Structures are given as structure tokens and as C-alpha cells.
């Protein structure tokens, strides 16, 4: 910075203002400083800024690695493939957070891994960011309690576990209830099965509650547990679940009229398994998912699903972090984002 100031004939303070608040410097002077910086290869030090301001200019996002190789293969095999087609749940949260962070002048640090447990990443991230968003099930509650004493933390998805933290979730139960009602009321389907996730998956459990509520309203049997549970909720798990449900039905003498899955990735995998077994969708069995990932509209038949505003989830997380950084003592906020049923060919619509 000293060299840039000397070369451009201005003070150190002026060089600093060019990078911190460029509009406060006359255009001619600003151009002269930037030209000198380019000639000298000068780049402002984020670490040095952080030492002075005790901030990093970085926000963090911590979540398990939800990659699904089958989803990428499926999209790339399609003639209309583009990069957005393989965007899954976590990808779209990242996209939303990046967009909002950039708008507020922040960078985004992402920590995603299953190896060694996501808990091991939290301390690393917390020391490098001004605040961070954490997806449900990623970090133990007791660890979040400790970290939130010195950093703003926003919880994404799932129920609100810590009252003093900002929190965002989507209307999972409402969405699944409306989807199930549609299958029962509009298509006359009554033999429904539900494939859920692990019990500690708050989103999947909320969706199962919505399914149960709709069954109860319609006078159908209300299951205590999903017909099957998947561990990773990937396409491969969806294929295995569909195969298992068909095998079970063939032994019992009656196939279900509809298969509902706790996310789109599993539902898409199920479509492949049903096609291999010669089961027509939706003529023989209707299929539905949840999330509204781009791939859901590319498969054939196109998937009926509940679309949640995943990118907005990421954007709202940044907004809450920025507000919390500006006003640390304000009351905690809990947001519930709405969802909508997208009716497509896999249930007989469209």
C-alpha cells in the first residue's frame, strides 16, 4: 500500500479509501491509484483488514455432503442437459447464499463433508467467518450453543432447536399434506405408500406427518411409520425402495396405487426401477417427490412434486446474518417459507 501511495502521489489513507469506499474518492484520483496498483501487482490483504476491523468479510455455510452421482449421470444423459440440471438441494442453497452474500459485499466459505463427521468442520469454519448458516442435523446442538456465544448463527431447515438463534424452515408438513390430498381427492387414489428418511431427518419426518394428516382426513389407514426408510435419500436408495415395495406387494397380492417419496432424488430413482419392472407411471402406479429440483422436470414422466423455495432459503439466511451483525441484540427471528404443489405427468396431471 505504501508503494502504491508513493507511485500514485497520494496518501496511504487515500489508497485505503479507494478500496474501502471508492465513491468517496474523485474518479481521476481513483483511476491513478488503481493503475499504480495494477502496475505493482497490489491486492488488498483480507487478513490485514480483518486484524484492523476484527471482521473477515466472509460468511459460512455448513452442511452434510448430499452429492448424488446418479442424479448427475441422469442429467448428463439428457439431450437438454445444462449445468443447472444437476443442482440438488444443497447446491441451490449455496447459489442463493452466494447471490445474497455478494450483494452485501461478503464472500462465502462452504464446509461440506461426511467423512470424519461435519462436527469436525465447525471449529474450522467458525474461526474464519463473521457468521454462518448451519443445515439441520449438521452440528450437535451443544456445539452450536458454544459457537453462537461469539458468532451469529442461522439454523436452516428442521424445527427450531435453540430459541435464541435465528431460524428458517419451509412448510414441509403443509406441502406433503396438500400433495397427498391431491392424489386422494383429484385422482381417487387410496392405496398409498410413503418412503421416508432417517428418524433424525426433521424435514423428512415433517413430510411424513403431512402424509399421515391427509390420510386421516380421508379416512384411510394412518401408518405409525413410513413403509420404508432410506438412509441417504439418493436416487439409488429410491430405486432400491421401489424394488422392495414391488417385491413386498407381489408377495402380499396387491400393489400400491401411489408411491410418495420424501425427496425428488428418491422419486426419480423409483421411476427408473418401475420402468425396468414394466410398471407404467402413472397408469399402474403414480409417483411423487418433494423439493422441486431441476431434474424433476426433466425425467419422463415429469415428476409431480412439492416445490420449496430452496434458493430463497439461502438468500434469507444471509439477510438474517447481515441483520444480526448490524444489530446483535435484536430479538431472534423464525421464518416459515411457503411451498407449492407442482402437478406433472407422474401422477396423471399435465
**Strand ranges (E), the chain:** 58-63, 107-112, 131-135, 153-156, 166-170, 192-196, 228-229, 258-261, 286-288, 305-307, 334-337, 340-342
For residues 242 and 227, the answer to whether their CB atoms sit within 8 Å is: no
Strands 340-342 and 305-307: antiparallel
Q: What is the mean pLDDT of the chain?
A: 87
What pTM was computed for the model? Answer: 0.79
Torsion sign (Cα): 162, 163, 164, 169: positive
Report the b/e string of 47-84 with b at 16+ CB within 10 A.
eebeeeeeebebbbbbbbebebebbbebbeeeeeeeee
pLDDT of residue 113: 57
The tens digit of pLDDT for each residue in 89-104 reads 788 899 999 999 999 9
| Spatial separation of the C-alpha atoms in residues 30 and 3, rounded to whole Å | 15
pLDDT of residue 47: 52
| Spatial separation of the C-alpha atoms in residues 5 and 16, rounded to whole Å | 9
Going along the chain from its start, the domains and CATH numbers come out as: 2-44 (1.10.260.40), 58-171+310-338 (3.40.50.2300), 172-308+342-347 (3.40.50.2300)
Inter-CA distances, 88 with 58, 75, 91, 298, Å: 24, 11, 5, 13
| Spatial separation of the C-alpha atoms in residues 288 and 161, rounded to whole Å | 29
pLDDT of residue 117: 47
User: Given the C-alpha cell 491509484, which residue does it identify?
Assistant: 33
For residues 263 and 290, the answer to whether their CB atoms sit within 8 Å is: yes
| Cα 199 versus chain centre, distance | 19
pLDDT of residue 79: 52
| Positions in the chain short of pLDDT 50 | 81-86, 114-119
- The two counts, helices (H) then strands (E), for the chain are 13, 12
Q: In what order do the strands lie in the sheet with 258-261?
A: 228-229, 192-196, 258-261, 286-288
For residues 308 and 175, the answer to whether their CB atoms sit within 8 Å is: yes
The tens digit of pLDDT for each residue in 171-217 reads 999 999 999 999 999 999 999 999 999 998 889 999 999 999 999 99
For residues 287 and 270, the answer to whether their CB atoms sit within 8 Å is: yes
pLDDT of residue 160: 79
Please, which residues have CB within 8 angstroms of residue 201's CB and are 6 or more apart in sequence?
Answer: 137, 233, 262
First to last CA, the chain: 62
DSSP 115: T
pLDDT of residue 201: 87
pLDDT of residue 120: 52
Amino acid at each position: 500500500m505504501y508503494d502504491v501511495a508513493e507511485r500514485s502521489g497520494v496518501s496511504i489513507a487515500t489508497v485505503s479509501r479507494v478500496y474501502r469506499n471508492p465513491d468517496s474518492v474523485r474518479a481521476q484520483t481513483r483511476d491513478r491509484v488503481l493503475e499504480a496498483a495494477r502496475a505493482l501487482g497490489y491486492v488488498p490483504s483480507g487478513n490485514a483488514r480483518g486484524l484492523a476491523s476484527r471482521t473477515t468479510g466472509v460468511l459460512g455455510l455448513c452442511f452434510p455432503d448430499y452429492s448424488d452421482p446418479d442424479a448427475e449421470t441422469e442429467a448428463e444423459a439428457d439431450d437438454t442437459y445444462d449445468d443447472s440440471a444437476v443442482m440438488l438441494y444443497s447446491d441451490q442453497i449455496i447459489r442463493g447464499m452466494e447471490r445474497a452474500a455478494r450483494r452485501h459485499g461478503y464472500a462465502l466459505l462452504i464446509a461440506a463433508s461426511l467423512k470424519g463427521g461435519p462436527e469436525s468442520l465447525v471449529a474450522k469454519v467458525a474461526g474464519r467467518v463473521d457468521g454462518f448458516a448451519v443445515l439441520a442435523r449438521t452440528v450437535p446442538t451443544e456445539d452450536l450453543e458454544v459457537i453462537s456465544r461469539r458468532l451469529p448463527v442461522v439454523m436452516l431447515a428442521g424445527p427450531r432447536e435453540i430459541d435464541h438463534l435465528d431460524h428458517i424452515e419451509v412448510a414441509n408438513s403443509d406441502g406433503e399434506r396438500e400433495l397427498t390430498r391431491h392424489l386422494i381427492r383429484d385422482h381417487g387414489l387410496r392405496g398409498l405408500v410413503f418412503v421416508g428418511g432417517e428418524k433424525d431427518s426433521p424435514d423428512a419426518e415433517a413430510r411424513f406427518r403431512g402424509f399421515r394428516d391427509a390420510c386421516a382426513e380421508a379416512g384411510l389407514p394412518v401408518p405409525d411409520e413410513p413403509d420404508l426408510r432410506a438412509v441417504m435419500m439418493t436416487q439409488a436408495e429410491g430405486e432400491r425402495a421401489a424394488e422392495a415395495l414391488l417385491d413386498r406387494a407381489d408377495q402380499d397380492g396387491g400393489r400400491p396405487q401411489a408411491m410418495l417419496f420424501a425427496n425428488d432424488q428418491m422419486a426419480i430413482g423409483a421411476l427408473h426401477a418401475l420402468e425396468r419392472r414394466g410398471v407404467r407411471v402413472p397408469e399402474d402406479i403414480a409417483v411423487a417427490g418433494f423439493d422441486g429440483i431441476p431434474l424433476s422436470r426433466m425425467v419422463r414422466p415429469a415428476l409431480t412434486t412439492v416445490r420449496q423455495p430452496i434458493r430463497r432459503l439461502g438468500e434469507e439466511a444471509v439477510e438474517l446474518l447481515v441483520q444480526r451483525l448490524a444489530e446483535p441484540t435484536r430479538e431472534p427471528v423464525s421464518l416459515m417459507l411457503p411451498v407449492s404443489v407442482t402437478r406433472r405427468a407422474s401422477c396423471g396431471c399435465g
